[in-house]
Amino acid sequence: MLLGGVDDTSGGTVSLSMRTVGVALVVAVGLAACGNSSNDASPASTAAADSGAAAQNGDRNEFVSISGVPGVSDDEIAYSVVGTKSNNPLGTCILDCYAAGVEAYFAYQNSAGGIYGRDLVVRDVLDDELGQNQVRSLEVIAAEKDFGVFQATLVASGWGALDDAGVPTYTWGINATEAANRTHIWPSLPVRCQDCTTRSVPYAAKLAGARHAASLGYGVSENSKVCAQTVAKAIEKYEPDTGVDIVYTNDDLAFGLPNGIAPEVTAMKKAGVDFISTCIDLNGMKSLAQELSRQGMDNVVLYHPNSYSEAFVAEAGDLFEGDYVTVQFRPFESDPGDSSLTEFLRWMKKQGDEPSELAMVGWINATQAFEGLLAAGPNFDRAKVTAATNAMTDFDAGGLLEPVDWTVGHVPYTNATRSADGSPECTLLVKVVNGAFEMVAPPAQPWLCWSGSDLTWSEPKPSAFG
């Protein structure tokens, strides 16, 4: 999923056009079309194993006096958290929920003695107000009070400056354009390919028993358009195997659906559509579902790229009943097994915070920051942590992610060049049943994976990592 940004080199107030706001709103919508695989997706977590080995060897407790490294004292390693709160067009909890996840992970590790004789601390939580991300990022750089920074923003205009300054930056994985080819930026979920025709949407359509599919996207965002087009190509590619054809594609919807979506739903009804995959935001999904119901199309199953919110689904009543939702990490409904999901839930509860998608993203980002410090060793600095993190070949955040090979993870590829990657193509799906989420795959093996080298149709293999 790719997200455009605002360039404000003056560091002053950014004036947000409707186009910019529209692009900012199209978050987490490209997962349906993008390949998120990484090399060497082994069932074991090197990051988790290294963490345990370091603890047993006492390495994490070795203290080395360090001077001249921003944010590092004899007692603490400090970070700031930057994200969108004010002017958030989604109306969802972003900055506060994300910061809660970072702080929960820090509390978890500090309870075990921290690292290298120091506590991990969040020095400041900064609201970028949607259009002030570059301003806040420049403030972090100039202050030199933070070793690194965590970011959950809709408009990632400050990431270039952070990368140029060599600041370790851990982010919500929705801004692939701003993260690409920047070796100091680690998104929670790197999107390696924008136009790869994956099997996840055709598989969901087959599960739904559908026959005629539609694909929708916003015209204001090139990324949403490409997402809608790529989904349509994927459904067409696998039609002989799934029995589902693509009969309607619209990649030019107006942002926010200001005039509703009645004509488009009427057209889909005429075409016999019974399955719709979208590359639009969760509020647009609700408007679409309401119009489908109004026109008597309650039989249509929707594929949601970013509606993994129990509260949102519950508040919608039966609008989303039977729909499929993709998830960016090991779902809360899965069997935790030996993954760190159990610790996430335990430490969120200890803080008095509710588990949420953004809290989990914060936890995952904080895990990567900690693992990078461990890999760099007790005489660490920003450059050493960057090099050590970029040497990780199967980071899975303790079984929460499909393993990421960060030796290649910063560099995007295309559908035409994807064969060079060859790693498994995996997806995580939940289904809305009685207003709640249920796993599609076995709870102990929540990922559904296909071969990355053989792109012919097959049934996915349930898998687990970590």
The answer to whether 259 and 288 have CB atoms below 8 angstroms apart is no
- Tell the residue number behind the tokens 């120091």, with chain if given: 118
DSSP per position, 62-87: ------S-TTB-SSEEEEEEEE--TT
The answer to whether 308 and 436 have CB atoms below 8 angstroms apart is no
Reported as a pLDDT band with limits 50, 70 and 90, residue 413 is confident
The answer to whether 347 and 105 have CB atoms below 8 angstroms apart is yes
pTM: 0.89
In angstroms, the Cα distances linking 350 to 107, 120, 298, 359 are 10, 17, 41, 14
Reported as a pLDDT band with limits 50, 70 and 90, residue 223 is confident
State pLDDT tens for residues 260-281. Answer: 999 999 999 999 999 999 999 9
Can you point out the beta strands (E) in 318-375?
324-326
Higher-scoring residue by pLDDT: 242, 37: 242
Reported as a pLDDT band with limits 50, 70 and 90, residue 148 is very high
Rounded CA gap, 187 and 369, in Å? 11
Segment (H or E) for 276: strand 275-279
State pLDDT tens for residues 325-369. Answer: 999 999 999 999 999 999 999 999 999 999 999 999 999 999 999
Average pLDDT over residues 148-173: 97
What pLDDT does 57 receive? Answer: 36
Rounded CA gap, 411 and 403, in Å? 16
The answer for 260, left when phi > 0, alpha when psi is -120 to 50, beta otherwise, is left
Q: Which of 334, 339, 400 is nearest to 365 (CA)?
A: 400
What pLDDT does 420 receive? Answer: 67
Percent of the chain clearing pLDDT 70 (strictly above): 87
Average pLDDT over residues 107-111: 98
| Architecture, CATH, for domain 18-192+337-390 | 3-Layer(aba) Sandwich (3.40)
Average pLDDT over residues 223-251: 96
| CATH class of the domain comprising 200-332+421-463 | alpha beta
The mean of the pLDDT values for the chain is 88
What pLDDT does 44 receive? Answer: 32
Report the DSSP beta bridge partners of residue 115: 118
Residue 333 CB contacts under 8 Å (≥ 6 apart), including other chains: 430, 437, 438, 439, 443
Higher-scoring residue by pLDDT: 31, 309: 309
What pLDDT does 106 receive? Answer: 98
The answer to whether 39 and 421 have CB atoms below 8 angstroms apart is yes
Lowest-confidence segment of 29-38, 94-103, 120-129 by average pLDDT: 29-38
The answer to whether 342 and 26 have CB atoms below 8 angstroms apart is no
Give φ, ψ of 233 to 5 degrees.
-65, -40
Percent of the chain clearing pLDDT 90 (strictly above): 79
Domain ranges for the chain: 18-192+337-390, 200-332+421-463
Rounded CA gap, 145 and 69, in Å? 9
Residue 30 pLDDT > 60, yes or no?
no
State pLDDT tens for residues 173-221. Answer: 999 889 999 999 999 988 778 888 999 999 999 999 999 999 999 998 8
Residue 149 pLDDT > 60, yes or no?
yes
What pLDDT does 222 receive? Answer: 83
Segment (H or E) for 258: none
State pLDDT tens for residues 48-99. Answer: 334 333 333 348 999 999 999 999 999 999 999 999 999 998 889 999 999 9
Residue 127 pLDDT > 70, yes or no?
yes
One fold for both 18-192+337-390 and 200-332+421-463?
Answer: yes
State pLDDT tens for residues 289-332. Answer: 999 999 999 999 999 998 999 999 999 999 999 999 999 999 99
Rounded CA gap, 384 and 375, in Å? 9
